[in-house]
Amino acid sequence: MNFSPKVSVIIPVYNGSNYLNQAIDSALAQTYKNIEIIVVNDGSNDDGATEKIAFSYGDKIRYFSKENGKVASALNFAISRMSGEYFSWLSHDDRYFPEKIEHQLNVLSLLEDKTTILYGGYQVIDSNSKPLYLIRPDSILSSEKLNISLLPLLRGLIHGCSLLIHRKYFFEISMFNEALPSTQDYALWFEFFRIAPLHFDSKILIQSRVHPEQDTHKIKEHIEECNALWSSFLKRLTDEEMILMEGSVYRFLLKSSQFLSSALYDKAEKLAISMIEKHLSNIKVSVIIPFYNRIGWTIEAIHSVQAQTHQEFEIILVDDGSTDNLESLFEIIRLDNRIKYIKQINSGSAKARNSGIALATGYYIAFLDSDDLFDQEKLDIQIRYMEENELFISHTSYFRIDSYGKVIGFINSGSLNKNAFPNIMINCPIAAPSVMVRREVFDNYFFQEKIDIGEDVCLWISLVSRYKFGGISKGLSFVRVTEESAAINFRKQVIGHLNIAIYIMRDSYLCQYESYVKILLLNTLKLILNRNNFLNFLIILAININCSLFKLFSSICRSSFITTMQRLFLRYR
């Protein structure tokens, strides 16, 4: 091996005559020989039994004896005297496998940064050295998360004796905190891991013994010490560190609370839960409400947002050229500084929504049509769901209401979930007032302003095809249905289907799914068959030709053909 630095194996011991010889023997049995073994007797009071064992090894080890000061003081004592470039801890009741040091140095030799801290799993043995089970971090964390420095530590997966640490970290950052009787190791690893690169190796190289005499079983204050330690971790972590570990602050805190609960660190768990609630309450949502006249309904829509249990929002009212008197609306705007108002020349809902998006400052954007309403828990439930599942877009089921606000139906659209694409191109049940999207998504996508019917579905299809998506089965929106609603108006349904087909075939990515467009058009045929007149016959004939020759036309030709058919429909409707 060209890479052959000296390694200091440090064994702190207190009244360890039962197991010390096994620990020392395992260190001496290392296949890598450029090591020193430092044994520090931390004031044992076992009538010299521990010291007798240490003396029996003569100059094979470096032996020191000091007054009792607990494990941290013994480790610091040894570190200040170590001559090795690397530190390897061996508890007096644990054992190394013979290849521990050599294997880790082989791994380290392949890494560019030789100050990388190595760690791994371990085998648990009992007081008689009988193997019990394995602890494997790679069975708990995914491969991409194993080397995120702080995450294995904060999930309780780091065994100090599995580590190989460059000496510089002790002298440049810190030594062990001698005021901590049982958590001094994790307290120091936290300081190291925030700075040092970490590398997981899957080979099991140590045996960790469990027995009744261990300090962590003796110290009644151990749980309280752990509560204090993990609470300090949570308070010191930055949002960036949490996001790096679990994808979002919410997800990190949620998983932390679950871990702390399983570890019985109740006070730290309560802190994590309180941090979750504080984080969620601070997530800002931009609710975009485009409107054209219908001021009474628009005010109802605004009130449904103002009544949300989640109060960190802004409302962006986009006036699409209304001609009605807006004084009652302006009075509401004056009383709530969370409401922004902008006006545009009448250009349609797509343009209005895009204008609202351009002004949005929230982390999430939600949409609410002026004649629709939110359930009061809508934002709260949807934010939690998106944060927990790291989603970019989500939607919910919704209720249909009539012009008087009476519930007339329930649409279980929220069952459309992560596997929605590509079938969503055939039938998209997503209603705009049920949707919530991360603001960053709109850096790349927007509503198609040249499409007046079905423009929202076109956008949902694009987003679902490219971003992590989810659905909530609970109804959290109220969608008003009238004779002119696209959901029930025959003419608008047909035009919407054709618009969607054109959009898909013009999209460089979506166009590969032309078989789904064919099904969409065939479904449109079935819709038309319910109407018996000459115009329907012409449209049926036109679409049949289009479908039978689908693969022979270029994307542009197909789109142009469908456009012509649409114009024909509009001309003779």
The pTM of this model reads 0.81
- pLDDT reading at 158 higher than 80: yes
Contacts of 50 (CB under 8 A, 6+ apart): 13, 14, 15, 16, 17, 20, 41, 44
Tell me which H or E stretch contains 41: strand 35-42
Q: In what order do the strands lie in the sheet with 86-89?
A: 62-66, 35-42, 7-13, 86-89, 165-166
Q: Mean pLDDT, to the nearest integer, of 153-171? A: 98
Cβ pair 411, 431 in contact under 8 A: yes
Q: Which CATH class is domain 7-215?
A: alpha beta
The answer to whether residue 140 scores a pLDDT higher than 90 is: yes
Domain positions in the chain: 7-215, 230-281, 285-480, 490-572
Distance of alpha carbon 14 from alpha carbon 269, whole angstroms: 33
Mean pLDDT computed over every residue of the chain: 90
Of 286, 510, 252, nearest to 388 (Cα)? 252
Smallest Cα–Cα separation from 24: which of 93, 126, 76, 120?
A: 93
Cβ neighbours, 10 Å, residue 54: 25
What pLDDT was estimated at residue 550?
41
DSSP 267-308: HHHHHHHHHHHHHHHT--EEEEEEESS-HHHHHHHHHHHHT-
pLDDT for the residue 495: 83
Rounded Cα–Cα distance for residues 43 and 59 (Å): 21
Give the model confidence (pLDDT) of 323-335 as tens digits.
999 999 999 999 9
CB of 395 closer than 8 Å to CB of 381: no
Least confident of 106-115, 251-260, 456-465, 518-527: 518-527
Handedness of CA 497, 501, 507, 509 (dihedral sign): positive
Q: Which of 10-19, 251-260, 493-502 has the lowest mean pLDDT?
A: 493-502
Read off the pLDDT of residues 282-299 as tens digits, 9 standing for 90 and up: 999 999 999 999 999 999
What is 285-480's CATH topology? Spore Coat Polysaccharide Biosynthesis Protein SpsA; Chain A (3.90.550)
Nearest CA-CA partner of 76 in 182, 157, 161, 188: 188
CB of 517 closer than 8 Å to CB of 425: yes
Segment 391-404, tens digit of pLDDT: 999 999 999 999 99
Q: Quick one: pLDDT at residue 484?
A: 72
Q: Which residue has the tokens 């005297």?
A: 81
Rounded to an integer, the average pLDDT of 59-85 is 97
Q: Do domains 7-215 and 285-480 have the same CATH topology?
A: yes
| Of the candidates 484, 485, 477, the residue with the CA atom closest to the CA atom of residue 287 | 477
Of the two residues 258 and 486, the one the predictor is more confident about is: 258
120: closest CA among 165, 167, 169, 157? 157
